[in-house]
Structure 1
Amino acid sequence: MTPSWLDALQSSPFFGLCLSLFAYVLGLRISKRLRTPAANPMVIAILLLIAVLYFFRLDFERYKEGTRFLSALMTPATVALAIPLYRHIALLKRHAAAIMAGILCGVLANALGVLGLAVLLDLSHWEFATLLPKSVTGAVGMALAEELGGTSALTMTAIIVTGLFGNISASRVCSLFRIEEPIAAGLAIGTASHALGTVRAFELGEVQGAMSGLAIAVAGVATVLIAPLFAALIP
């Protein structure tokens, strides 16, 4: 049975908001103390939230209700990605063709990779359709998965895992493949790991972040157009 003080705390409309912010701030502190890519503040915050909700038997619906304030900020935060892109608009115009080609190649590589995995593991159509939009933002990916015959909840899980992996490994992968050009690095990160990867791209530099933000939008549109063609390959 939940203690009365804890029940009263949960009843606050700001409970979920405060708990989420506290977990993320604590995750940042732990990440700075450990100084390793594996200690990602977002991963730490997620694990802390899961532990607190489970250990104290907190009502998830009440917690979710409080996070609506954060959810409401997602759209303006995404739109705000256009600000650094505007600052580098001359760079975008100068390399427009190469940038678009790079993003489209990334989208095709993702689709081919998931197709190869589906063939190798003999995945069913709904499993393939669920994984196919894993590299786009949540709203686009979930809607697309449902349209293709997948399961949106599992798609969201795949999207989060993909984004977290990109956030954690982006700098190491760029170093491994010697991707030193800021534009190329930003496009690769944004195309492969959407918004969570873009957070890491901004840490690498403003150009990387701006190009990663652009890649999110273009890759989303390209995936919506290309995914149905690939989904038809696995009956």
Structure 2
Amino acid sequence: MEQLNNPLFGLTISFLAFEIGKYIFEKTKFPLFNPLLVGATLVIGFLYYFSIPLDYYLKGGDMIEFFLIPGTVLLAVPLYKQLNLLKKYYIPILIGGLVGAVTTITSTIVLAKILGIDRLLLISFIPKSITTPIGVEVSKNLGGIPAITIFSIVLTGICGNIFAVSICKLFKINHPVAKGVAIGISSHVGGTTKAMEMGEVEGAISALSIVIAGVLTLILTIFIKNFIIFL
């Protein structure tokens, strides 16, 4: 067991699990077989079945998390190519971002209260729709549990990746800018990867919306922090 207590273990099983998930998705094209979802399930199942301590995995898993920040920054590349579009639609994008951030926080609080979710879990779920680096800091600021926050962020991103296309069709969201804002605000990087498959404009605006959602959520939680104490 001690042989697994090194960073290569976490990196290796993460890579293998994702590749298996990717292979299954490419063969089936079934949305629920999202590579990230399948990969995460395989890693969790492997650790549980062989009773491997989570700390062993995290030595390599945390290295993957470290690269999330520069990976997120790279999303600025398609955005740069669409600067003219950004200048044209900056008001709808900002308004959509604000409405989305408020809706995300409000819906999380309301649903948590209806379902009787513990307050500590509630505040850990609040940053679920923003990118991980910002979400973790928001969670810490609110007094939440960063590990729970990361889980909720990953799950939200997977759901966005799986259901983005269907939801846009269901609610007849046809404009590429509207699609990008909706996907980026609600499901950060996970959804943005799907937006990039939908089109260059959708991907660029979705990438921008990740930043807008993160900044606005951070600002909003600062103002409502005192209110959250009484939840």
Partner of 2:13: 19
Structure 1 residues 146-178: Cα deviation after superposition (integer angstroms, max 9, x where no partner):
322333322222222222211111111111011
Aligned 8 A contact 1:115 1:230 in 2: no
Distance 1:68 1:149 in 2: 21
Aligned-partner residue type, residue 106 of structure 1 = G
- Distance in 1, matches of 2:9 and 2:149, equals 28
> Residue 158 of structure 1 aligns with which residue?
152
Residue 78 of structure 1 aligns with an amino acid whose one-letter code is T
Unmatched tracts of structure 1, length 5 or more? none
Q: 1:20, CA displacement in angstroms? A: 1.2
Aligned residue number for residue 67 of structure 2: 73
TM-score by length of 1: 0.88
Specify which of 29, 48, 54 is matched with residue 35 of structure 1: 29
- Within the candidate set 138, 155, 161, 2:132 is matched to 138
Please say which of residues 169-178 and 140-149 is displaced more in the overlay: 140-149
Per the alignment, residue 196 of structure 2 pairs with 202
Supply the RMSD in Å over aligned alpha carbons. 2.1
CA separation of 1:31 and 1:227: change in aligned 2, threshold 3 A: same
Match of 1:213 in 2: 207
1:149 pairs, out of 143, 153, 160, with 143
CA contact (8 A) 2:161 2:194 kept: yes
- Counterpart among 22, 41, 44 of residue 47 in structure 1: 41
1:38 match: secondary structure: helix
Give the structure 2 partner of residue 120 of structure 1.
114
Task: Report the more deviating stretch, 31-40 or 79-88.
Answer: 31-40
Larger Rg: 1
Q: How many residues align structurally?
A: 229
Q: Is the alpha carbon distance of 1:123 and 1:232 closer, same or farther for their aligned partners in structure 2, counting shifts above 3 Å?
A: farther
Which residue is equivalent to 2:78?
Answer: 84
Q: How do 1:176-187 residues align onto structure 2 when only pairs under 5 Å count?
A: 176-187=170-181
Within a 5 Å distance, the mapping from 1:164-179 to structure 2 comes to: 164-179=158-173
Change (3 A) 1:114 1:231: farther
TM-score scaled to structure 2, two decimals? 0.89
SS of residue matched to 1:150: coil
Separation of aligned partners in 2, 1:54 and 1:124: 25
- What CA distance in whole angstroms lies between the structure 2 residues aligned with 1:13 and 1:155? 23
Report if the CA contact (8 A) 2:184-2:210 is conserved: yes
**Overall identity of the aligned pairs, in %:** 36
Note if contact 1:183-1:207 (Cα within 8 Å) is conserved in structure 2.
Answer: yes
Q: Output the CA distance in 1 between the equivalents of 2:141 and 2:62.
A: 26
- Find the counterpart in structure 1 of residue 87 from structure 2: 93
- Aligned-pair CA distance for 1:76: 1.6
